[in-house]
Amino acid sequence: MSQLQENLDNVNKVLSSYSGRDKFVRTLSFLLSLKAQSSPKKEALLALAKQCSAARMVLRQFNHPSMIKACQQLLNTTPSDPVDYACTATVTGVYTVYGFVELFAWLSDARIVALDTARLFRWCLYLWITALVAGIIRQIRLISKKGLEKANEDIITLVGLASDFMFVAMRILVTGAAGFIGSHTTLELVEAGYEVMCIDNFSNSVSDGKGNAVSLLRVAELVGKTIPFQECDVCDIEKLDQVFAKGNFDGLIHLAALKAVGESVEKPYEYYSNNLTASLNLIKMCQKYNVKNFIFSSSATVYGSPKELPITEDAPTGQGITNPYGQTKYMMEQILIDVGKAHPDWNIVLLRYFNPVGAHPSGRIGEDPRGIPNNLMPFVSQVAIGRLPVLKIFGDKWDTPDGTGVRDYIHIVDLARGHVKALDRIQKLGHIGTEIYNLGTGRGYSVKEMIAALEKASGRRVPTEIGVPRPGDIACVYCDPAKAAKMLEWKAEFGLDEMSRDLWNWQTQNPNGFSQA
Find, among 225, 229, 224, the residue nearest to 198 by Cα.
Answer: 229
Q: What is the pLDDT of residue 515?
A: 78
The amino acid present at 182, given as its one-letter code, is G
Looking at residue 374, its pLDDT comes to 77
pLDDT at 479: 98
User: How many CA within 13 A on the CB side of residue 267?
Assistant: 11
pLDDT of 156 reads: 47
Q: Which long-range contacts (CB under 8 A, 24 or more apart) does 9-15 make?
A: 10/242, 10/245, 14/245, 14/246
CA–CA gap between residue 85 and residue 378 (Å, rounded): 59
Catalytic residue among 194, 271, 325, 445: 325
Q: Please answer whether residues 293 and 426 qualify as being in contact, where contact means their C-beta atoms are separated by less than 8 angstroms.
A: yes
- Taking the C-alpha atoms of residue 375 and residue 454, their distance in angstroms, rounded to an integer, is 14
pLDDT one-digit tens code per residue, 173-230: 999 999 999 999 999 999 888 999 999 999 999 999 999 999 999 999 998 889 999 9
CA distance 184 to 392: 28
Model pLDDT, residue 108: 46
What distance in Å separates the CA atoms of residue 384 and residue 334, rounded to the nearest whole number?
Answer: 41
Neighbours of 13 (CB within 10 A): 12
Asked if 18 and 26 touch (Cβ cutoff 8 Å), the reply is yes
* CA–CA distance, 169 with 82 (Å, rounded to integer): 29
Q: Among this protein's residues, is 325 annotated catalytic?
A: yes
Whether 424 contacts 417, CB under 8 Å = no
Residues of the chain scoring pLDDT < 50: 1, 11, 13-25, 53-81, 83-85, 87-89, 91-92, 94-118, 120, 151, 153-167, 517
**Domains with residue ranges and CATH for the chain:** 3-166 (no CATH), 171-509 (3.40.50.720)
**In one letter, which amino acid is 230?**
Q
Q: Is 478 exposed, middle or buried (0-12, 13-18, 19+ CB in 10 A)?
A: buried
3-state secondary structure 123-183: HHHHHHHHHHHHHHHHHHHHHHHHCHHHHHHHHHHHHHHHHHHHCCCCEEEEECCCCHHHH
State residue 71's pLDDT score.
44
Angle separating helix axes 496-509 and 376-385, nearest 10 degrees: 50
**DSSP label of 202:** S
Q: Looking at residue 73, what is its pLDDT?
A: 45
* Distance from C-alpha of 121 to C-alpha of 123, rounded to nearest angstrom: 5
CA–CA dist 282, 253 (Å, integer): 10
pLDDT digits (tens, 9 = 90+) for 66-117: 444 444 444 444 444 454 445 444 544 544 444 444 444 444 444 343 444 4
Rounded to an integer, what distance in angstroms lies between the CA atom of residue 107 and that of residue 423? Answer: 40
Helix axis angle, 214-223 to 180-191, nearest 10°:
20
**Residue 85: predicted pLDDT:** 47
User: Looking at residue 60, what is its pLDDT?
Assistant: 42
Q: Are strands 464-467 and 391-394 parallel, antiparallel or unpaired?
A: parallel
Asked if 440 and 407 touch (Cβ cutoff 8 Å), the reply is no
Half-sphere exposure of 392 (CA within 13 A, CB side): 8
